[in-house]
Amino acid sequence: MKKGLLLLAFMALPALAFAQKKIEVTFQTDGVCGMCEKRIETALLNIDGVWTADWDRESHATYVVYNPKKVSEIALHEAVAAVGHDTPKVKAKDEDYAKVHACCKYREDEVQNAHHGG
Amino acid sequence: MRRTNAFWGLCLPLSLFGQVDTSLYNSLQIDEVVVREEASGLSLDSKSATLDLTISRTELKKAACCNLSESFETNPSIDVSFTDAVTGTKQIQLFGLAGKYAQIQVEMTPLVRGLLANSGLSFIPGTWVQSIQLTKGIGAVNNGPESMTGQINVELLKPEDLVDAAESPDSEGRGDVILNGYVNQGGRYEFNEAYGVRINDKWMVASLGHISGRQQGTDINGDGFLDNPLGYQVNGMLRARYFGQNGWEGIYTFHALEDVKKGGQILSAFAPGTSVDDLWSSSMKQGRVAFTAKTGWVNPDLPDQSIGTILQLYSNEMDGSMGNAIDPLHASSLYGIQNGGMGQFLFRHGWGTWSQTSGVLLTADRYDFDFVQTDLGTTMGWTEVDLGLSTEWTYAPSDRFTAVLGARYDWNSIVSHQVSPRIHLRWEPVEKHTLRLAAGRGFRNALPLVEEWGRLATNRTLRSQPSRVAHIMGGHSLNMEEAYNTGLSYAWNFVMNYMPGSLQLDAHSTVFGQTVVQDYWTPGQRYLYTQFTSSGEPIRPMTSQTAGASFTYQLNKRTEMRLAYRYQDLRVVYRDETGIVSQNVSLPAPFVPKHRLMAHVSREFQGDWTVDVTLQRYGEQPIPGTDPSAYPSVETAPAFNLLYGQIRKAWAGGDVYLGIENGLNVMQANPIDGAVNSQTGEALLPSSAHFQTYFDATRIWGPIFGRMVYLGTNIVL
């Protein structure tokens, strides 16, 4: 019993970081679909110091909660741009944009219309 | 435009693999919206009127092994227990009551029923499972009368699950083939396969395969008996899926399996010159062939209107034996065959805040048995037909309130007319705080000997009250088992420190009007009561009262924890025959701990590593004693803890997992009575008088096999 509880506590304790100060930010991020959502959120969640991330398909708003001691706000924008999505502060490089799937090419009108029309 | 719309279709699914089931039969359940969150392996459906828990594929991966009977290790609601120390049969308990009182279905059709009631769970390989829906408390009325404690519905991988995974844009064509391999320290190996392929724009097919077994036996505790039975299982399913125009869809499945288990004494534990014929042995061979056709139609103009039909035909067979011919008084064999089928028609229609689902369900089973035990042998057969009409009305005036009223009428060839009303209420007075109330009746016809086959691994004398052999077989001479279940629950879904969590409190009461009671309280005897007679007050032969609390919280984006506690009080009425006049006594049921605790933590690490740890605590439980002068002869088994752990490394093309079961190495000291000479420690043969008097492998309360390490891999092609 004791051994088991110790092991559980060992795994759970590092996560009990309630005292950490966190910042909430929201910024626009270009994208069109569920695949984009997954790509944007995964890129952010993979950053150490990002607590939670959510991209809204309707409003294109990215909501991020992060620990400023571990990561800066500009690094969030850079991470999103690095997987091919434009933000107000960092525009994705053409070679990164080229990597997103054909149906996620949000810079093209045809794709935008298809998603809105669909 | 058409082309880009196809793009949009490809792009849309964020969760192709964990999608909401498109199957009509799910939409016909009373839960109106099944929201399945990918983040959590266990999700409580907050909009459903019943207390529904969905166990996803992700969650099932945390369970050590291998089939459905073992997949509830990380689940706070369901317990897994052994029936005996030789057949290796694992059974589940809900509210302390045996799994047979829950209605267990595979895609709304029966599998763990009839001849497969005691072992059917082991015929559903974990790799095949797409998700499990668990309803605590009385379930939907349209699915049949047999749900008393709850419903478990298992959805298996369908052709579209595999094909869609491979066709989704970010999968790089991977996902239509899943291969799984597993080995453990106890000598068990397993191989599973799932393969789906698209034929054209309307048809898809899939195959699901399973081979497992154990050829090498172990006897860790040195009692001369195998810790786990040897044997094999071959199990396969072929499925065809149709998605047509105008709302038509169908799925057609062929299923065949064979399972062989041999347990008992090992030759190498005895002196040279001992023959295999001198040993106590048990064997069981089971087989099944089944065909299922499900067809559904959703009105394309009125999505609230749909029709579904299910047709299933099956043949189940069992052939088992126990004991040794040297001691014919305690040797038994049972052969059974069950040919049957079911047909169901469901119609759903909704008008805004009201909706109704009504159905007709016909089940027919022909049973033939040949049971041999010196003074009890019998050959008998019967046909059971049940025609049920059911209707269920849902009133949902707002998101905050749902009322479901249902009733079914069954004409059953054994117990004639039966009416089973059910009610479900859901109320969310304050956002994220949900209250639920459910009450209803269920009934079933028991097959006592089949369901308790493993409990024949004893030299206790089997007695039936009233003493007619037919009663222990089932059929027309046995009355039904019936129960009323009432449940009240409260759930709170909260967000704390940006992370989701939930708190759930529930209390359930199950009161049996009639049941088959197994009485082990007289040493050397085992009674089966099938009827209670009383001149005055009605007797409730079995009552279960449980109260539970469970708490889940996501500590951060990579860590999830679960804590649960349950109190369960299961009382059974037995008959004390020691006095001049036999009298009824109410006692706690054996093999059911009063207190259960569970703690679970799962954490992901960078680089797709996952670590899971689960601790299950079983409180003290009453077990049958050996003191021949006492009635009831009760002993108390000590409380114990089972620790499970697993490390998993995932890649795009699959994963590898290494785990440990029973990490604290807990073992029941002498699981089999009378098997060993207590002075010399040498194993005894069934020819010995001591063995013949005391042999009992059914006083089992804990693990027989100690710590066990396992290794497995999933390959996705």
Q: Which of B601, B602, B610, B617 to mutate to test the interface with A (most CBs of A within 10 A)?
A: B601
- A6 phi and psi angles, rounded to 5 deg: -60, -45
What is d(CA B53, CA B70) in angstroms, rounded to the nearest whole number? Answer: 17
- B89 phi and psi angles, rounded to 5 deg: -75, 125
Give the percent of chain A with pLDDT over 70.
81
What is d(CA B554, CA B43) in angstroms, rounded to the nearest whole number? Answer: 12
CB contact under 8 A, A50 and B557: yes
| pLDDT for res A112 | 79
In sequence order, the β-bridge partners of residue B635 are: B623
Reduce the DSSP state of residue B454 to 3 states and report it.
helix
Q: Compute CA distances B239 → B158, B250, B251, B291, B308, whole Å.
A: 7, 10, 7, 10, 18
The minimal CB distance from A12 to the residues B15, B170, B555 is found for B555
Residue B398: CB partners within 8 Å, gap ≥ 6?
Answer: none
Q: Which of A23, A45, A115 to mutate to test the interface with B (most CBs of B within 10 A)?
A: A115
Query: Is the four-CA dihedral B404, B409, B412, B416 of positive or negative sign?
Result: positive
The minimal CB distance from A103 to the residues B11, B497, B559 is found for B11
DSSP state of B6: H
Smallest CA-to-CA distance from B710 within B124, B61, B59, B55 is with B61
Which residues of B fall within a CB distance of 8 Å from A12? Answer: 555, 559, 561, 601
Which residues of B fall within a CB distance of 8 Å from A32? Answer: 11
A–B interface: beta-carbon pairs under 8 A: 96
Residue B406: CB partners within 8 Å, gap ≥ 6?
Answer: B30, B140, B141, B142, B390, B391, B392, B393, B421, B422, B423, B424, B440
Q: Burial-class residue B276 by CB neighbours within 10 Å (0-12, 13-18, 19+).
A: exposed
CB contact under 8 A, A33 and B170: no
| pLDDT for res B19 | 28
Residue A110 amino acid letter: E
The two beta strands, B654-661 and B640-651, are: antiparallel
Q: Burial-class residue A101 by CB neighbours within 10 Å (0-12, 13-18, 19+).
A: middle
Extended beta strands in B23-96, E state: 42-44, 51-56, 78-82, 90-94
Q: Which residues of A touch B (CB under 8 A)?
A: 1, 3-5, 7-8, 11-12, 14-18, 22, 32-38, 45, 50-52, 65, 101-104, 110-111, 113-115, 117-118
**ipTM > 0.85 (yes/no):** no
CB contact under 8 A, A114 and B664: no
To the nearest whole angstrom, how far is the Cα of B163 from the nearest Cα of chain A? Answer: 18
Residue ranges in B389-435 assigned as alpha helix (H): none
Smallest CA-to-CA distance from B376 within B451, B443, B290, B470 is with B470
| pLDDT for res B326 | 87
The encoded tokens of residue B715 equal 């390959």
Cα torsion through B535, B540, B541, B542, rounded to 10: -170
| pLDDT for res B569 | 96
The pTM of the full predicted model, rounded to 2 decimals, is: 0.88
Q: Which residues of B touch A (CB under 8 A)?
A: 1, 4-5, 7-15, 169-170, 497-499, 555-559, 561, 599, 601, 603, 611, 613, 615, 617, 641, 643, 645, 663-664
> pLDDT band at residue A10, thresholds of 50, 70 and 90?
low
Strands of B97-98's sheet in order across:
B78-82, B90-94, B97-98
Query: Is the four-CA dihedral B459, B463, B469, B471 of positive or negative sign?
Result: negative
Which residues of B fall within a CB distance of 8 Å from A34? Answer: 11-15
CB contact under 8 A, A114 and B8: yes
| Domains in chain B with CATH codes | 2-716 (2.40.170.20)
| pLDDT for res B526 | 84
Of the CA atoms within 13 Å of residue B207, those in its CB half-sphere come to 8
B369: Cα separation from own chain's centroid: 24
Which residues of A fall within a CB distance of 8 Å from B499? Answer: 51-52
pLDDT in tens, B589-630: 999 999 999 999 999 998 889 999 999 999 999 999 888 888
| Domains in chain A with CATH codes | 21-111 (3.30.70.100)
The encoded tokens of residue B536 equal 């005055």
The minimal CB distance from B557 to the residues A52, A104, A114 is found for A52
CB contact under 8 A, B558 and A15: yes
pLDDT in tens, B576-600: 777 777 788 899 999 999 999 999 9
Q: Which residues of chain B have pLDDT under 70?
A: 1-41, 64-65, 375, 465-470, 531-537
The encoded tokens of residue B229 equal 């039975």
CB contact under 8 A, B170 and A35: yes
To the nearest whole angstrom, how far is the Cα of B652 from the nearest Cα of chain A? Answer: 15
Average of per-residue pLDDT values in chain A: 84
Which residues of B fall within a CB distance of 8 Å from A37? Answer: 14
